[in-house]
Amino acid sequence: MPEELVLILVVLGVAGWIIYAVAKAIVEATQATHKEITESLTRANATRFLKKKERLRAFVRINLPAELERTDQTITQLEAAFAARRNTSKWVAHRPTWQKVPFKAFAAPTQNAQSTEMNVRELALILRPNAEPWHEKENRMLGSDCSYPWQPPSSSHCLELETFTISEIRMEFAIFEASSKNIREKDLDRFFGNERGEVERYNEKRRLLLFRYEKLANSVAAWNAKERQQWTQYRDSSIAFEKEEMAKFQDAARAYKDECIAENTRLREVLNGFRAGQKQQVIDRLDYIVGSIEWPVSMPRVWQADYDEVQHILIVEIELPNIVHRPPAKFVEQRIGLVAKPLNQKECGEFIPQFHPAIMLRAAFEIFRNADSSVVQLLALNGWVSFHHPHTGLDTRAYTATLLVEREQIASLNLNRIDPLAAFQALKGKSAGKLIEIIPIEPALNMKRTDSRFVAARDVLESLGTNTNLAAMDWQDFEHLIRELFEKEFSGRGTEVKITQTSRDRGVDAIVFNPDPIHGGKYIIQAKRYTNTVDVSAVRDLCAVVRKEGASRGILVTTSTYGADAYTFANNEPITLLDGAQLLGLLQKHGYQFRVDLAEARRMKAEQTDL
């Protein structure tokens, strides 16, 4: 029984599946047939629709331009460019730039007595000549055309107005036109509804784009008008600034040129006066020469000068560093770097004696390399030191070096390779030895500190008034005056002055015996009341008398001056020369006031000769 039931169920299942499959196939066949019929009908309807639409198209005109996207991009680009232009456009007037350059005149020579501790390395700097001597600086300045060293303010900085422009936009209308006689409205809606909708949408978008463009154009026009107004203000301000700066520039250029011309005129006057041997111009130019010497910063910069116009003798006195009371140091390499250390005894003996001779030689070198030989035939260079005297505590000035040289003696020196002490001694320079202590020396030739043509009135001697012209005195009275003067000068020192009879000893007017064991001895004094230059023959004669008398020194005194050859000869002999200015100074020392007027004495002598 159960087997039969199972068999029945199987048969029923197979029959049900067959029935389902048959039904499904019938349904699918029906659906496929329906779909085919529907598609066929649809195609037929579409064909009829298209055929009819095609027949009606002859009565419809449609124009739909493709400009929307391109125009939208163009307007967007114009809007972005306009926004960028508005953000970057700033009309700010700026003053044209130019540099105000003050005229840098050659600095007036300045003197400075301040000094600091020197070091041995500076010895080489002292002996190093200026890279550019004064005469080259002078020529550079005198060769200048005094033009202003800067360009005038330029007007090219003023910007031009660039109006912002936008390109014109033209857009065609979209068109949809139909012939009402040949086509019904119902058919238009049925067959051309999409096209008419597209045309309407296009035209609406066109209207919006053109409105957007018009709004942009109006903004650009308003901005351009405002921009032109701002640019006009900018241009006017720029022109005003340019005029103001040009006026300032012209004032600065004029002031520069005026100062330059004045400087050139002054320098040329000094140079021409120097070349002509005029005393003041020689001294003025000498100030520039000495002031331009490139000394180490530790050195004092103090000097004085005098000039003998007749004999072409230049006398210069310079302050030397006090290396006795403030010895130079040396630099020693240590882990922390260079350290200043004092010199040992051997180094002191080696370096200290070289400093003052080196300074004297360098000064003489710079003076001669910038001075014409016809102007300065002989240079008397005296160096002095300022210090506090250990005995009195007073400020004291003492000469410690002196040099009397001619150009040829200095021109042949190579300062970079010489031994300064040996060279100084070879030129017969005098110094205070090894400078262990300050030992004053007598300068080869002192500066004339008074004018021989003018002396202020004071009390007089018994027979002479303050108006007495020593150069016009009776020559015997003058010799007697010289004898009296030196009697007073050497009195009180244990010195004995023996007066000789006039002309009995052939050139000996007085003999002085000084008992001092160091500085003493026998001095021969000779007086020359001259109105012309005392030449070298008088010095030679006195030198011969000194040797004959066995004297230690001869003193030649005159109311006039000495020639360069006289000083050169005396510098190498035991002879002291006193000219008219120094004679007046010695008389003033003892309270006597006279004058020396050579021109007046010559005139009086000429008048007496005529009589």
Q: pLDDT digits over 123-135, tens only?
A: 999 999 999 999 9
Q: Can you give the pLDDT at residue 458?
A: 29
Q: Does domain 470-610 have CATH number 3.40.1350.10?
A: yes
* Of residues 558, 582, 253, the one with CA closest to residue 446: 582
Note whether 378 and 313 are within 8 A (CB): yes
148: left (phi over 0), alpha (psi -120 to 50) or beta: beta
Q: What is the pTM assigned to this prediction?
A: 0.59
Q: Tell me if 511 sits within 8 A of 524, measured CB to CB.
A: yes
- pLDDT of res. 295: 94
Instruction: Show the low-confidence residues of the chain (pLDDT under 50).
Output: 436, 449-461, 503-506
Give residue 359's pLDDT: 93
Contact 315, 446 (CB under 8 A): yes
* Predicted pLDDT of residue 459: 32
396 phi and psi angles, rounded to 5 deg: -130, 145
Q: Which residue shows structure tokens 């002999």?
A: 573
pLDDT of residue 11: 82
Q: At what angle do helices 475-490 and 580-589 cross, to 10 degrees?
A: 50
